[in-house]
Structure 1
Amino acid sequence: MGPALVFYVVLFVVPILGAVWISFHEWAGSGPMTWNGVDNYSGLVKDPLFRQSLANTLKLLFIVGIVVFVLSFAMTLILRDMAGRKLVRSVIFFPHLINALVYGVLAGFIFNPGGLANSLLKPLGVDSPPEWLAQDNLFPLIMLTMVWMTTGYYTTILMAGVDRIPRYYYEDCALAGANAWQRLRHVVLPLTWDVFGVCAVLWTISSVKIFEIVWIFGGSSGNGIPPAKTWTAAVYTYATAFSGDSIPAYGAATASAMLSLLLVTVLVVLLRRLMRRDVIEF
C-alpha cells in the first residue's frame, strides 16, 4: 500500500492542506499572501450572494435528488421484468456518458426563443410562449435539466441492485400471498437499501460540485456569465476567483471551496448514520 499511500498524500492531502492555508489569507494568486484570519469565512457568511448560491446548491441536492430517486426507482420497478431490459439499461445509461457541457448547450437550444420548446407550442395554439430564459425561469430549467441528465445513471445502479435479489424470494412471497406493496416493502427495499445508500452519497458529492450546466446554460441567456440567481456554490467559487474584480480573490474563493468540502463531509457522515442498518446477506 506504500506507493498508493504516497500518491494519495501528494496529490490529495497536501493540496487540501495547502487550500486550507490559503483560505486564511488575502491573495491575488501571485506575490505575497497577507494573513487575515477568518475574515474570508466571515465575509462569506455575510455575503447574500454566497448564501443564495448555497441555497441553490441545497435545492439541487434535496429537491432534484428526491425527484431523481423517485423516478429512478419507479423506472427500475417498471423495467425489472421487461423483455430486453439489458438493452434498455444501456440506452438509459448512455446519456450519462455525455459531458454536462453538451447538456447545457442542448438546453440552451431547446429553450431559446426560436428553440424546440416554442416550436412545439406553436402548433398547439400558444402564440405567446413563456420566456424560458428569463432570470426567474432559469434555475427551475437547470433543475429540470439535472433530472434529465442523471435519472438514467441512478436507474442503472438501482437496477443492478434489484437484479441481484434471488428470484425465489419473489416466489416465496407469491406462495405466502403477499401483494405488490408487501413485496416492495419487505423484500425489494430491505435488500437494496445499501444500494440506495451508495447512490445517496454519490448524489450528495456530485450535486455540491455542480458547475458546468449552470455556467453554460445560464450563460446562454446573457453575456456568457450566468445570472447571480442561478449560481451554485461551485459557480460562486469560480466567479470569486476568476470573474470578479481585476484583482482575483483566491483566498475568499478557496474559503468558499473549503465550506463546500465541509458541507459534503457533514452530509455524507449524516447520510451514512441515518441509512445505517444491519447487513442482510442473501
Structure 2
Amino acid sequence: MSSATRPGRLVQRTRRPADSPMERAQRRTFWPFLAPALIMFVLFFVAPIVFSGWLSLHSWDGVTEVKPRGFKNYVNLIHDPVFTTALKNTALILLVGGALVFALSFAITVLLREMAGRKFVRYVLFFPVLVNPLVFGVMTGLLFRPSGIVNTLLGHLGVSDPPKWLAEQNLMTMIIAVTVWAGTGFYTTVLMSGVEQIPTTYYEAAELDGASAWGRFRHVTLPLSWDVVTVCAVLWTISTVKVFELVLVFGGSTGGTPPNGTYTTALYVYESAFSARSARDFGVSSAAALVSLVLITVVAVVLRRMLRRDSIQLS
C-alpha cells in the first residue's frame, strides 16, 4: 500500500490485486461464448424490428415499388375501427382471461397440494399445452356447431332451442373460454413448482393458529410464491399478443374469414399483410406490429413494477 500526502488531506492508493488464472480465463472466453447467441439475437430479433420500423413508414404490397408514407400508417391505425376492436379484444383476453386463468390455477394448485397422485393430475392438466391451438379450434367447432355433439346432447335432454354457440356475438366468449382452458394447465404446473418449495411446517403453524383454507392461501401460499406469480403474469401478458390461430379457426366457423368483431392484434397484423379481401400492405402490418409490441412491452414493465415485492427467504 502506498500513500501520497496533499495539503489538508491524506490520499491512499491501493493496488488492485492480481487477477487469478480463472478470472483471466473467464475474460478470454466471455466473447467467444457470447458471440453466437448475440449474433443470432441481432439477426433474428433486432434486425427484423429495425426493418419493420423502416417498413412501417412506407407502403408496399410485396411486389411493386416501395412508396414512402411517413407516419400516415400510424395515423390510419388510430382511426381504423378494426384495429381499435383488435386492441379491445386483446385487452379482453389479457384481463378477463388472465383473471380466470389465475383464479382457476390457484384453486387447482391448492387442491393438488395435498392430493395423492397429484403428479399424474398435473401431467394431465399440462397436456393441452402440447396441442396446437388449431386443434382446439377445430375440436370446439365440432362440439358446438348447430348439429354438433353439445347441441345433440341438449336436444336429448329436452332443450328445443340450444344456444347459438358459434354465432358472431358469442365468438369472443368462446375464444376466451378455450384460451383459459388451454392455458390453465400450464400456469397450474408453474405455480405448483413454486408452491411445492414451501415447507409444510408453515401450513402446520397456520393451522395451529386457527387459519382457514383462505387464510393459509393468503398468508402462506401467495406471499411465498409471489416471485412465481410475477413471472406467470408477465408470461400471460406476452402470450395474449400472440393469440392468432384460435381466432382464425373460430372466425372460419362462420363460413369465411374471421368477422371484424373477433380480431386480435396478431390477426390484424396477419390480415393486413396477407388479406384476400383487401389490398395487402406490409407497411400497415408492420406499423400494427410495432404498436402492439410497444403496448405489450409497456404493460409488461408496468405489471412487473406493480407486482414487485421484497423477496422472502424460506428456511
Match of 2:97 among 64, 75, 93: 64
In the alignment, what sits opposite 2:268? Answer: 236
In the alignment, what sits opposite 1:18? Answer: 51
Q: CA deviation at 1:30?
A: 3.3
Please tell me whether residue 201 in structure 1 is matched to residue 237 in structure 2: no
In the alignment, the residues of structure 2 paired with residue 173 and residue 246 of structure 1 have an alpha-carbon distance, to the nearest angstrom, of 62
Partner SS, residue 299 of structure 2? helix
**What is the identity, as a one-letter code, of the residue corresponding to 1:243?**
S
In the alignment, the residues of structure 1 paired with residue 236 and residue 138 of structure 2 have an alpha-carbon distance, to the nearest angstrom, of 23
In the alignment, what sits opposite 1:33? Answer: 66
Q: CA deviation at 1:200?
A: 0.6
**What is the identity, as a one-letter code, of the residue corresponding to 1:51?**
T
- Of structures 1 and 2, the one with the larger relative CO (CA 8 A, separation 6+) is 1
Match of 1:165 among 186, 198, 208: 198
In the alignment, what sits opposite 1:221? Answer: 254
Q: Which moved more, 1:175-184 or 1:35-44?
A: 175-184
Q: CA deviation at 1:273?
A: 0.4
**What is the TM-score normalised by the length of structure 2?**
0.86
> Higher helix proportion, which one?
1
Q: CA deviation at 1:32?
A: 2.9
In the alignment, what sits opposite 2:304? Answer: 272
1:23-172 to 2 correspondences below 5 Å? 23-172=56-205
Aligned residues: 281
**Structure 1 182/245 Cα, relative in aligned 2: closer, same or farther at 3 Å?**
closer
Q: CA deviation at 1:135?
A: 0.9
In the alignment, the residues of structure 2 paired with residue 18 and residue 174 of structure 1 have an alpha-carbon distance, to the nearest angstrom, of 58
In the alignment, the residues of structure 1 paired with residue 222 and residue 278 of structure 2 have an alpha-carbon distance, to the nearest angstrom, of 54
Q: Structure 2 stretches of 5 or more lacking a match?
A: 1-33
Q: Structure 1 stretches of 5 or more lacking a match?
A: none
Q: CA deviation at 1:214?
A: 0.3
In the alignment, the residues of structure 1 paired with residue 212 and residue 275 of structure 2 have an alpha-carbon distance, to the nearest angstrom, of 58
In the alignment, the residues of structure 2 paired with residue 34 and residue 47 of structure 1 have an alpha-carbon distance, to the nearest angstrom, of 21
CA RMSD of aligned residues (A): 1.3
Q: CA deviation at 1:252?
A: 0.3
**What is the identity, as a one-letter code, of the residue corresponding to 1:233?**
T
Query: After superposition, what is the alpha-carbon deviation per residue over 1:129-183, rounded to whole angstroms, capped at 9, x for unaligned?
Result: 1222211111111111111111111111111111111112122223334333332
**What is the identity, as a one-letter code, of the residue corresponding to 1:117?**
V
Q: CA deviation at 1:244?
A: 4.8
In the alignment, the residues of structure 2 paired with residue 152 and residue 273 of structure 1 have an alpha-carbon distance, to the nearest angstrom, of 26
**What is the identity, as a one-letter code, of the residue corresponding to 2:295?**
L
**What is the identity, as a one-letter code, of the residue corresponding to 1:221?**
T
In the alignment, the residues of structure 2 paired with residue 95 and residue 134 of structure 1 have an alpha-carbon distance, to the nearest angstrom, of 25
Q: CA deviation at 1:31?
A: 4.0
**What is the identity, as a one-letter code, of the residue corresponding to 1:130?**
P
